[in-house]
Amino acid sequence: MADKEIFKDRERSLEEEYFRKEDAKLLQKLRERDRLEAIAKALAEKLQADDPALLRRVMDLGATAETGSAFLLAPLVQVAWAEGTVTDAERDEVLRIAEERGIEAGSPAHAQLGAWLRTRPPDALFDAALAALKVGLSVLSPEERAERVKRIADGCREVAKASGGLSRLLGLGSGISSDEESVLETITATLRAPNAR
């Protein structure tokens, strides 16, 4: 009987060590401000360890090793589609931010973003992307997490401001529509909410 308990304790210890290592890999990539491709790979490894069902969901939505970094920018695409269409200015802003964050023009991830900006992805893609981002953010300290959520929200806000509208041109407002503001609030609230583990 005591032998069974020893083996269970050993198994539990090995499992906990494995999860700590996956968390550490992702944390290192996030702290290095590595290219999104490296972060996406580390996040996929963490999902494989912690939440294989979510990883399967992400893969079923078409994410691959080559396009995983685009998946991390899905909130930008979601904001671009908030009013039902994507303007050229919004499209350009999403792609500018993507390139700034290491997604090279001509890469599979860049092409994936372009496809999503031409044809609206299903809500399931946006939901899965936010769930995956939450898992990634969960390894950060509260301060680092808040900074990353702010960075994501700032990127989304830049996309929302891209078209601007007449009110922005006249200096009467931010140029962010109520639909865009609603999507921004949902994304931010979802990412700030604690993970249920």
pLDDT in tens, 161-174: 998 654 444 444 56
Q: How many CB atoms lie within 10 A of CB 122?
A: 9
Task: State the pLDDT at residue 141.
Answer: 84
Diameter of the chain measured on Cα atoms: 78
Which of 24, 32, 26 shows the shortest CA–CA distance to 132?
26
Read off the pTM. 0.78
pLDDT(29) > 70: no
Task: State the pLDDT at residue 139.
Answer: 81
Contacts 24+ apart (CB under 8 A), 160-168: 160/79, 160/82, 160/90, 160/184, 162/87, 162/89, 162/90, 162/92, 162/93, 163/87, 163/89, 163/90, 164/89
Residues 33-88 have pLDDT tens digits of 556 777 777 777 777 767 889 888 988 998 888 898 898 999 999 999 999 999 99
| pLDDT > 90 in the chain, percent | 45
Alpha carbon distance 19, 21 (integer Å): 5
Task: State the pLDDT at residue 6.
Answer: 64
